[in-house]
Structure 1
Amino acid sequence: MEQYDINKVLEDIFGSNESNWKPSEKIPLISKEIEQLKIDLKSYLNTTDYDIPAILDESTQLCKESKLLVQDMQTCKQEIEEETMAEIVRSIENRNQLIKELQQIHFAINIVYDVVQCGKYVKEFDDGREAQSFTRAVEAVYDLLQYIEVPAEGFKDLDVYSNTKHTAQLIWDSLCHDLCVEWTRMVSWNIKASTRKTVVTITLNIEDNMVLIDVLNALDKSKILLEKVAEFSRFLLDEVLVKIIHNDCTVYDATDELMTITIMHKENYRPQYDAVISNLRLLFHYLNNKLNIEFKRDTSIMRMIGKEIGAEFSAILERDCLIDTIPNNINELQTYGRITSEIEGFQNFLVLVKFFTEKFSILQYVNNIDVLFANKSSQYFLETARNIMLKDLSATMSIGVESIPETGDAKAEVDEAGALGILDKTIPKSLFYFPRCMISKTAQELLDLVYVMMEQAVQCSDVVCKKLYNTTRLVFELYDSVVPYHHENYLQTIPQYVALFHNNCMYLAHNLQTFGDKWLTLMEGRELDYPISFVDLVQKLRDLGYKHLTIHMQQQRKQILDNIRSSDLNCIVVKDELSGNAEAAVRQCLRQLHLLKNVWIGVFPKNVFVKLMATLVNMFVEELIHRVCTVEDISSVMASQLAEMYKIVVQKAPHLFQDQSDIEQNVQSWIKLQELIFMLSSSLKEIETRWKDGTGPIAVHLRTEEIRSLIKALFQNTQMRANLLSKIK
């Protein structure tokens, strides 16, 4: 029977395009379709392969049987509820009783088992002792102590538990003591110290046999070995290895078991790296022969010592010994490979004797060789510079030119040359020349040192070059701090030291003006990430020289003024005549200036010497003039004394200069002093003549107030004095 499409049938009957239809019209069509369906169904049933009536009969029979089964199940349910559930309840009660009985039996079995196990461990201990095996004895007692830490329930309440635990602990303590005695017999050391030396002896009674392996395993099992190895390792590092690195030592093996290390006490002594490595090789060779016995897989005392102190030893050896091998100059750095080969050989030796593992290396510092070399060079140069600065300043040398040479007038052929010619005319030639004077040899020695630093820097990598450049600047900053402080007493008391220090500062500053350009010339072609210049240090050094020279000039000025003010020249107004101390004070001041001349002449450049001497002489003369010009009354006797005294100054002061004409050109008050002497020894008429209506020498070199004051102090109040005073206005 084909599939029946109800939708298609309805569409055919009602029509999809019909909008107005009546039921009466469609009912016959539907009835007809129903009849046709009945005919088709009947035809299908007649022709089908299934026996439909038989199927219906079978279904009816199954329904009856199902009802009978439901009735049987209801009956069974009733029987279970009435009889079986009662039996189940009785069974559960019996099960609970059985569980209680089983628990009691299990409790007793556990206690008995613990007692048996404790007995087993005790027997194993006895067997180990009989076999003279520390390992078996330690394992048995250790296992027993571990086992009774978690006993079965109820076992702790038995006397056998407390007795067993106490006995096991006593046995354990005895075993540990015996093992410690064995370790001390195998490994021991002694230290004998005196004022001159310390002798350290190490005794290793260790033989590669089963007894040793048994003892080491027992020590390891009892957790004592790690403690003892740590103690020995710390002794080895602190009392032997570090001392070998830092001191003069002798290492020798007296016997196969005995090693002796003799440490000599020397102040400020640092052994050479090759001597340190040689001593360490002997020591580790001895330790390797005795301690490199494996008592379990990949484990020996030597390996344990290496794990304990290997890293710390490596760091100390690098920091306090190997880094010292880094040279402080470029020539030695180029041959440093020979030293690194020796150190690498020692590194391989330490790995071979199992003291170092692969992760330890004493050559790590070589990776930063540039930085370390820069630091070492910097430290060396700073120490050398400081030692130079501490030397005596009085060892001198002549430096500079007598006069500035004249350059030719050759015309430039190109514009650049013409521009340079204009620049050459604009910049003073004195900028490039240093005047003839005396400097300390230490100043030239310091300058030579910084030139060496510069030449070395330009041959090195950028890291080293930058470090040495900064160090060079530090040298001059160090000069500012060290020299004035170290030579402070001399700079305060000895004029020659002040002069030399001033010249040293000027000389160094003079060279620093072009030092940066010389450095850059040598660095041509290299890209720098920092500026190179020393110009900023020039004025600092000059100011340093000026400062101490100024302080000394103030001291000299104070001494001159104190000499004058402590004499009768300070009390002219209250005396009619001067005592001998006035002339003595003047002569003392002249002697002081003469001593300065003897000390400074030839030390300072000529122009500097003239300016300094002229400054002091002018101050001296000004003070002498001031003493007279401020007095209201001067007796004729005192005037005569003052004139004679001041003539001494006029006679002797020119000899303080190399060229006597320098005093007139550089001492401003020199002519003024001469005019003052004239007034002290002249009459009113002579003064009037020299006044010459305000155009004479007196008018030129003395102020009007000073002239009037002197006339009033020297001469009595007469008509002639009044007339002269009226003219001087």
Structure 2
Amino acid sequence: MATAALSGHNFARIITSQLLEPQTGSSLASLAANGSNDVVEPTTMDELMQAVTSLDSEIQSTKAQVYKKLLANYSAFSESFVYSLELKDKINGLLERADDMTSQTMDPEAWRCTGLRQTVMSALVDHHEISYKVQENNAILEGLSHFSRVEDILLQYESCMDAGKILQAGHCIQQASKELSQAPNAGVSSSRITKSLTEQCTRMTEAIDQMLDELVSNSIHITHSNQDSVCSFSLTLTYNIKVPPLSMPRSGSGSTPSTIRWHELIRALTLLDVAREKLRPLQKALIRHLLQPLIQYHRDAVLQIDRSADYVASHGSSISLSTRPGQGTGGTDGLFENIRRVFEYIQRDIFLQGYVSAEFNADEFSSDTEILTHFIGRNIAKEACAMISKHYLSTIVPSDVQGLKKFGSIASTATQFEDSLVSMGFLTDADRELRDFVENIEIHYTNNKRDTLLKIGRAVIMNEDFKTIQVKDLDKDDDLAANDDGWGHISDLDTELKDSSVSIKSKQLVDMVISTLKEAGSLSEVGSPHLYQATRSLIDLFRALMPVHHARTLTNVPALTMLFYNDCMYIARELEKVPARMEDSIPGMEDVQYDDVIPALKALAKKWLGVQVRKQQDELMESIDEAGGFQDSSLENNYAACERSMKQVVLVFRHLGKAWKLLDGAVRRVIKELEKLTDISEKESHKLARICSVLFECEDQFDSAGPFVERVKGDAYNDEDPIHYFVPSWEKFQQLTDVLELSFAEIMTRFRAGQLHMFEEQELSNLVCALFADTPLRQHNLQEIEQGHPMPLPRG
């Protein structure tokens, strides 16, 4: 025992070391380890002897303590002495076995011979295999327990289906699905049994969903017909609902009940969260085939409701609608009363609100009613209010101010009806569409007026009739036109149209603007600005539509281009008068002005006039080209061509009225062509003068233009002919015409008087050379002309 004195702890370390390093040569390699699984250094003999010595010391100390105890407890020792001897023998036997195992462990040959390593390793392998099988068996037991719970739930489902308990059956499906999604381990989750049970749950869910569809179909019966204004609708609700046979085979001895009650179906639909889906056809039918015809044909609508006061004893209820011309309730009150009755039917007979019965707890069922009211009833109510706004209220928006004042009773009825829907829970304060409509009736009124105004205005603008009227005839009854100081002088001469003509359509548009503004003055500050904006929209429509719809006409007919010019200027002039016409300001607006519209109208007029002027200018230049540069005008054919050219200028100018630049351009071109002539005979000069005199017919277009020039020039105005202001080259053209027929002496008299100052010296010299033969007198006069013009005489 002394040679192999090892503690049990060190002995275990030796065994562990050998198991971890079976190929190590030293049997004491792991004695220094501290019980961990780390690789340890081999133990030396000194360390081993130190351990033995320490063990002996511990034994001696223990013996001393034992002796001490024995002396103190001699009587107890004597009583257990025999038992101690027996224990001693057993301990000695155990120590001998330990010595034997120690020697075998420390001897490599003995280790291999006795097979202790193989025994330990085999035991460990067996232990591992047994542990795995135990874990596997535990997993199988958990899986079987899991599948057993699922199977119990599915059996309960079948039992509920047999008993017709649709709601409980649905709960079973939900519970089974939840169990299958919470498998105890991955093996159970991926097993074929789980897959099979999941598929079975899916089929059962489809079966109960199909049964709910059939139950809803068996409980709701709808017929409808909608042809023009003749409508019929009938909804019958059966409270004792026939349960269809199950389509999926199952075990169980029970039989499906023949019927279930309506409230049971409602409860199943709401608690399974499929009420909105299953009752959507009912919702659509009530909106489309009951409420919409009731609102559209309310004057001929007859609504009938058949119900029982006792749900328990009732077998069902019904509601029907038919249109009978002349037999409907008619009127606003009748319409809203019928719609209110529809919602009372929905609340009481479909949602079962307010029923108290032994068959179900009314308080418990109230939550289902709230769900139906919120998700289904609210949609129906919002659609109904939208249809009332669209198909009824919007159609009776007043067309005049007096009707607008009488609209208050209709507004009151509509808001009271909406209040009842709110009190029943079908709407919230945020859903008050009818209240918003009636509170903004002035806006709807002005919108209608705007639409009507634009519709009529569009018809006027697109009309191909361009009948005209004299502006002076329009102004004779206009106090503002009679007294210019009443609204201020017009600064833009283009808007002075006293002797011009405008189209009837421009007068119609102006009248529409003025009447609309006057009506705006009788509204509140909420609606009046909208009517003002409507007049602006009318003018914008004129500016946008006229150049597009009448583009070809305005391009090809110069007279209509000028008429369009006059129309734009006339409308602009009348808009400038608006502030003076408005005796009282429009509510909600400080100023009623068209400061941005007026310039746009004038710009549009000048744009199209410019287009036509350029076109006619080109045509006039081509016409003047046909005169052949006024060469040989003494010849009859050439004279006719030149005269025809000048008449064309007059014709175009008369068509374009105020296209003064056109006349000025034509005159400049004639002057230029005449100045190019190098040899003009006496006969030819008279012919040329006659040709030029054709253009004098244009002077009558300026007969009324004097006041315009006076306003522009102010104190500088000296009663000059207005044509000289608008056609700067006219005076030169007149003098040129005279020069063609004057004698040489008369020409020089005018030159010396400064009356020919508009001609350059070279221009005048060329004319003299073309008109008169080369003589000493011509040479003398040319020298005088070349010295420059004298100071022109002041115009008297």
Tell me, yes or no, whether TM beats 0.5: yes
**How do residues 521-532 of structure 1 correspond to structure 2 at under 5 angstroms?**
521-523=583-585, 530-532=590-592
Matched with 1:626 is 672
Matched with 2:410 is 339
State the Cα distance separating 1:530 from its structure 2 match.
Answer: 4.2
Matched with 1:640 is 683
* Equivalent of 2:434 in 339, 363, 380: 363
* Equivalent of 1:215 in 232, 246, 265: 265
* Equivalent of 1:495 in 555, 558, 561: 558
C-alpha distance after superposition, 1:320-349 (max 9, x if no partner): 864565446433221212432453465467
Give distance in 2, aligned partners of 1:653 and 1:445: 37
Give distance in 2, aligned partners of 1:721 and 1:335: 94
Larger deviation, residues 430-439 vs 716-725: 430-439
Give distance in 2, aligned partners of 1:641 and 1:121: 126
Larger deviation, residues 251-260 vs 370-379: 251-260
State the Cα distance separating 1:709 from its structure 2 match.
Answer: 0.5
Matched with 2:525 is 462
1:510 equivalenced with 2:555 (yes/no):
no
**How do residues 244-323 of structure 1 correspond to structure 2 at under 5 angstroms?**
291-293=350-352, 296-297=365-366, 299=368, 304-308=375-379, 310-311=381-382, 314=385, 318=389, 322-323=393-394
State the Cα distance separating 1:361 from its structure 2 match.
Answer: 3.1
**How do residues 502-581 of structure 1 correspond to structure 2 at under 5 angstroms?**
502-519=565-582, 521-523=583-585, 530-534=590-594, 537-569=597-629, 572=631, 580=637
Change (3 A) 1:252 1:647: same
Larger deviation, residues 554-563 vs 535-544: 535-544
Give distance in 1, aligned partners of 2:449 and 2:320: 39
Amino acid at match of 1:218: A
- In structure 1, the gaps of 5 or more residues are 1-74, 84-105, 263-271, 408-420, 601-608
**How do residues 73-152 of structure 1 correspond to structure 2 at under 5 angstroms?**
121=153, 124-146=156-178
C-alpha distance after superposition, 1:420-443 (max 9, x if no partner): x9x979976999997254322222
Amino acid at match of 2:264: D
State the Cα distance separating 1:644 from its structure 2 match.
Answer: 1.7
C-alpha distance after superposition, 1:578-606 (max 9, x if no partner): 68366325314414524654x57xxxxxx
C-alpha distance after superposition, 1:213-261 (max 9, x if no partner): 3334334444433322346546876898789989999999999989899
Give distance in 1, aligned partners of 2:201 and 2:596: 83
C-alpha distance after superposition, 1:442-481 (max 9, x if no partner): 2222222222232222222223234434444454455444
Change (3 A) 1:352 1:576: closer
Give distance in 2, aligned partners of 1:153 and 1:659: 108
Matched with 1:178 is 211
* Equivalent of 1:590 in 630, 638, 647: 647
**How do residues 709-728 of structure 1 correspond to structure 2 at under 5 angstroms?**
709-728=766-785
Change (3 A) 1:389 1:281: farther
Larger deviation, residues 158-167 vs 373-382: 158-167
Amino acid at match of 2:434: L
C-alpha distance after superposition, 1:185-209 (max 9, x if no partner): 445889999xx98999988563123
Give distance in 1, aligned partners of 2:184 and 2:626: 111
State the Cα distance separating 1:522 from its structure 2 match.
Answer: 1.0
Matched with 2:507 is 444
1:398 equivalenced with 2:470 (yes/no):
yes
SS across alignment from 1:397: strand
Amino acid at match of 2:637: G
State the Cα distance separating 1:687 from its structure 2 match.
Answer: 1.3
Change (3 A) 1:697 1:248: farther
SS across alignment from 2:512: helix
Larger deviation, residues 320-329 vs 157-166: 157-166
Matched with 2:93 is none
Tell whether the 8 Å contact from 1:397 to 1:438 is kept in structure 2 after alignment: yes
SS across alignment from 1:439: strand
SS across alignment from 1:462: coil
1:654 equivalenced with 2:717 (yes/no):
no
Give distance in 1, aligned partners of 2:233 and 2:177: 36
State the Cα distance separating 1:626 from its structure 2 match.
Answer: 2.0
State the Cα distance separating 1:486 from its structure 2 match.
Answer: 3.7
Amino acid at match of 1:556: Q
Give distance in 2, aligned partners of 1:458 and 1:334: 15
SS across alignment from 1:563: helix
State the Cα distance separating 1:497 from its structure 2 match.
Answer: 2.4
Change (3 A) 1:531 1:159: closer
Change (3 A) 1:647 1:673: farther
1:227 equivalenced with 2:277 (yes/no):
yes
Tell whether the 8 Å contact from 1:122 to 1:140 is kept in structure 2 after alignment: yes
Amino acid at match of 1:501: F
Give distance in 2, aligned partners of 1:582 and 1:164: 114
SS across alignment from 2:522: coil
Change (3 A) 1:222 1:713: same
State the Cα distance separating 1:306 from its structure 2 match.
Answer: 1.7
Give distance in 2, aligned partners of 1:352 and 1:278: 15
Tell whether the 8 Å contact from 1:189 to 1:200 is kept in structure 2 after alignment: no
Amino acid at match of 2:749: K
Give distance in 2, aligned partners of 1:199 and 1:661: 68
Give distance in 2, aligned partners of 1:426 and 1:154: 95
**Percent of counterpart pairs with the same letter?**
18
Give distance in 2, aligned partners of 1:624 and 1:582: 14
State the Cα distance separating 1:516 from its structure 2 match.
Answer: 1.8
Tell whether the 8 Å contact from 2:664 to 2:730 is kept in structure 1 after alignment: yes
Tell whether the 8 Å contact from 2:173 to 2:201 is kept in structure 1 after alignment: yes
Give distance in 1, aligned partners of 2:535 and 2:753: 61
Tell whether the 8 Å contact from 1:148 to 1:165 is kept in structure 2 after alignment: yes
Change (3 A) 1:582 1:466: same
Tell whether the 8 Å contact from 1:450 to 1:472 is kept in structure 2 after alignment: yes
State the Cα distance separating 1:565 from its structure 2 match.
Answer: 1.8
Higher share of residues assigned helix? 1
SS across alignment from 2:237: coil
C-alpha distance after superposition, 1:2-41 (max 9, x if no partner): xxxxxxxxxxxxxxxxxxxxxxxxxxxxxxxxxxxxxxxx
Change (3 A) 1:166 1:439: closer
Tell whether the 8 Å contact from 1:583 to 1:645 is kept in structure 2 after alignment: no
Tell whether the 8 Å contact from 2:543 to 2:604 is kept in structure 1 after alignment: yes
Tell whether the 8 Å contact from 1:188 to 1:202 is kept in structure 2 after alignment: no
Larger deviation, residues 653-662 vs 220-229: 653-662
Amino acid at match of 2:239: D
State the Cα distance separating 1:561 from its structure 2 match.
Answer: 1.9
Give distance in 1, aligned partners of 2:375 and 2:339: 18
How many correspondences in the alignment? 580
Give distance in 2, aligned partners of 1:659 and 1:694: 28
C-alpha distance after superposition, 1:31-72 (max 9, x if no partner): xxxxxxxxxxxxxxxxxxxxxxxxxxxxxxxxxxxxxxxxxx
State the Cα distance separating 1:537 from its structure 2 match.
Answer: 4.9
State the Cα distance separating 1:542 from its structure 2 match.
Answer: 4.0
Tell whether the 8 Å contact from 1:708 to 1:725 is kept in structure 2 after alignment: yes
Tell whether the 8 Å contact from 1:201 to 1:258 is kept in structure 2 after alignment: no
The normalised TM-score by structure 2 is 0.57
SS across alignment from 2:498: coil
The normalised TM-score by structure 1 is 0.61
Matched with 1:37 is none
Give distance in 1, aligned partners of 2:609 and 2:178: 87
- How well do the aligned residues superpose, as a CA RMSD in angstroms? 5.8
Tell whether the 8 Å contact from 1:378 to 1:468 is kept in structure 2 after alignment: yes
